[in-house]
Chains A and B, each alone.
Chain A
C-alpha cells in the first residue's frame, strides 16, 4: 500500500520537525505508561520536562543542566568527527577515565603546593591521557587491522580496572582511613575546577565544550580536513583517490576524540566529581555516543541533544523525588525518547509514497 522511497537529500524542514514529533510521541506514550502505573501523566511529564527549567527549584536545577550536559557535549563533539569518517570510537568512557586519572596524577603529585601552573598542567595531562588511550585502538587498527570498535570498547573495562587500582592503591588518600578514593580535589585550591560564576553551573568544562563545538564546526565546514572526513565516511575508495590517507585519518579522529574525552574527565574530577574512585566512570562516555547521533553529528545538534539528555536526566530525578516514580520507569521514558528520535528519523531520509 505504502512504500518508502529514499530521498536524495534530507530536507531541512524534516530535520527540524522529526525531533519535535519524537518528543511529542514520547510524551503521549510515556504519559500513557505513567497513567497505566497509576501516576498522574500530566504532572509526571511536567516534572520531567518543565520543572527543571521553570519549576520552583529551577534556580538550582538549571545550572545543573550545564554541569550534566557539559561533559556529554565535549565528548560527543569529538566522537562526531570520527563517526562522520566511519571511524567508530566506542571507548570514550575509557578515555574519559584515563584523562581524569592523568590530570589528577599531576594534582596529587603537586599536593600540597599552591601554584598557578598546576591547573593548566592538569589540563594538558588530561588531554594527553585521553589522547594516548585513544591512540591504542588507532595504532592497532593501522598496524594490524584490528577493529577499533572492539579494541576501544574493551579498553573501557581496562580503564575501569585502572581506576579501581588507583583508588585502592597509588592514589588512595593517605588521610582517608584506608578507604578507597583519592584526595578530594575540590578541597585543593590550585587543582580545583570550581564554578566560574557562582550558581551558574558553568566551569571550565563548559567553556571547553563550547570551544570544541566551534572548532569542530570550523573543521567540518571550512577546512580541507572536514572534506576528507566526509569523503572517507561517504565513499572510502573515492577518498583514497582524492588523496586521503586513511591511517592518518584514523589516528587523527581517535586521537582528537580521545583527547576531548580525556579533557571531559579531567574537568569532572577536578570539579563536580572531586576524586578518583573505583566507580569514577559513570557512563558519560557511552551516553555521549547517543548525544552525537541524536545531534545528527552536527555541532548545533549535539549542543541541543546534550541539553535534552541532561534535562530528561535531571527531570527524571525530580520525578522520582516528587512523585515517587521508580527509577526504572524514568529510564524507560528516556529510552523511549531515543527510540522515537531514531524511529522518526526515517521520515528525513525517506519519503512515504503510495504504491501505484
Chain B
C-alpha cells in the first residue's frame, strides 16, 4: 500500500516535471474527408493509401480518422467541423468542391491546420496542394499516339475544368508529336465516379473508331469496355493492374504519400506553414505505372525517356510553338506555359476538333 502511494506520487512528480516533453509526444490527430468511398479504386482510394502510409510512418505518434462519401457543400462543412471538434489538428480535405467549406471552418478553428487538395483559396491555416497530372498525360499521350491503328485516340472527360483541359491538351500534343495523323475524340461524362456513365462514354468513343483512350474518371468500367472491344486504355489515379497487360497498357498514378508524410512530419515538429504547391513526376507525386508487354519495347523506351526528361525539369509538356484551337498564337517557340495560365486553362490547342463545352 505504502509502496504503491510512493510509486504513485513519484510518477506524478515525474509526469509534472516532464510535462513539456510529454506534451510534445501527445498524439497528433489527423482527419480526412473524402468525396467518394475508400473503395472507389481511384481518387479516394489513393488518398486513403496515403493516409495508411502516414500511419505506418509515424505509428503511435499520430491517430487518423476519415469520413468517406461526403457530398460537397453544406455537408462538407459539417463533416469538417465535426473533425475539428473531435480534436483533429491537421485535416486533409481531398476534393476541389470542399474549398469554401474548408475556408469557412478554418476561420472558426484557427489552431487547426487544413490541407485542401486542388483548390486555390488559402489562409494562415489553410494550405493547398495539387499534382501536375498533365505531366503524366504527356507520357500516356505518347504511348496512345504510337499504339493507335485507327489514328483515333479518345479521352473521357469528367468536367471541363482546367485540370482536365490540361490533360486533354497534353495528351493530344504528345500523341501528335509521335503520330502526326492522330485525331482526338473527347466525351464528357460529367462525373468523377459513375461506372455506368463511364462505360457509356467508353462505348461512345469505341463506336467512333477510337482504339486507344485515356480516362479522367475514376472507375475501371471504361477498361472493362476496352477489353470487350479489343481497345487499349490506361489506369487512372490508381494502377488498375487487374486489367494488365491489356487493355491497361500503362497507368497514371496519384501518389499522395510523400506529400502527406512530409506535411504530417512538419505538423509534428512545429514547422508546418501554409503554402500552395503543385508537384509532379519529379516529386514522385505523379507516377507512371508499369508499361506492359503489350507495348512494343521501343515505344516503352520512348515513353520512359519522356518521363525522365519531364522529371528532371529538362522538358515542359507545354512548350511552344503552340497555337490555340482557333488558330491564334499561344506560346512562341521555346516558351513554356506559366503555372497561372495553366491553372485557369480553358481552351484546347490547335488540332483538337472537338468543341469546348460551355
Contacts and interface: CB of A to CB of B under 8 A. Distances in A.
Interface stretch (A9-17, A22-30, A176-184): A176-184
Given A168-B357, A178-B162, A317-B67, A279 B82 contact: no
10 contacts: A161-B190, A179-B161, A273-B73, A277-B72, A283-B71, A317-B78, A321-B31, A321-B79, A326-B38, A327-B37
A61 to B, nearest CB: 7
A138 to B, nearest CB: 29
A318 B344 contact: no
B161 A180 contact: yes
Nearest to B160: A168
A169 interface: yes
Contacts of B97: 181, 277, 279
Contacts of A178: 161-162, 344-346
Nearest to A282: B71
Given A279-B97, A280-B73, A60 B343 contact: no
A318 B85 CA distance: 11
Nearest to A167: B159
B120 A324 contact: no
A57 B190 contact: no
B162 A324 contact: no
Contacts of B77: 272
Interface in A150-183: 161, 164-165, 168-169, 177-181
A279 B191 CA distance: 9
Given A168-B160, A178-B162, A178-B346, A317 B73 contact: no
A277 B74 CA distance: 12
A300 B326 CA distance: 61
A327 B69 contact: yes
Contacts, number: 92
B315 interface: no
Contacts of B357: 168
Given A67-B74, A277-B72, A282-B71, 6 more contacts: A164-B159, A180-B161, A274-B100, A277-B73, A321-B82, A327-B68
Contact of A279 (B37, B73, B160): B73
B192 to A, nearest CB: 10
Nearest to A61: B82
B52 interface: no
Interface in A308-356: 314, 317-318, 320-322, 324, 326-328
Contact of B86 (A181, A273, A322): A322
Nearest to B35: A279
Contact of B358 (A168, A274, A320, A326): A168
Interface pairs A-B: 9 shortest CB-CB:
A272-B74, A178-B344, A282-B71, A327-B69, A57-B85, A177-B344, A327-B68, A273-B73, A178-B346
B65 interface: yes
B190 A278 contact: yes
B278 interface: no
Interface residues of B, number: 37
Contacts of B81: 60
A interface bracket (residues with beta carbon within 8 Å of B):
35 or more
Contacts of A326: 37-38, 68
A274 B159 CA distance: 21
Contacts of B85: 57, 60
A184 B100 contact: yes
A77 interface: no
Contacts of B344: 177-178
Contacts of A64: 78
B96 interface: yes
A314 B78 contact: yes
Contact of A324 (B65, B73, B79): B65
Please report whether the interface of chain B is mostly helix, strand, loop or mixed according to DSSP.
mixed
B75 interface: yes
A179 B128 CA distance: 15
A179 B99 CA distance: 11
A180 B161 CA distance: 7
Nearest to A56: B85
Nearest to B358: A169
B199 interface: no
A273 B83 CA distance: 19
B67 A321 contact: yes
B86 A320 contact: no
A190 interface: no
Tell me which of A177, A186, A271, A314 has the highest count of chain B C-beta atoms within 10 A of its own C-beta: A177
A275 interface: yes
Interface in A177-204: 177-181, 184, 186
Contacts of A327: 37, 67-69
Nearest to B120: A177
Contacts of B343: 177
Nearest to B188: A164
A225 to B, nearest CB: 34
A268 interface: yes
A280 B97 CA distance: 11
Given A168-B357, A177-B344, A320-B67, A272 B73 contact: yes
Contacts of B69: 327
Contacts of A282: 71, 73, 75
Given A168-B358, A279-B71, A321 B161 contact: no
A61 B85 CA distance: 10
A161 to B, nearest CB: 8
Contacts of B358: 165, 168-169
Contacts of B160: 168
Contacts of B71: 279, 282-283
Interface in B323-358: 343-346, 357-358
A118 B97 CA distance: 27
Nearest to B33: A321
A142 to B, nearest CB: 33
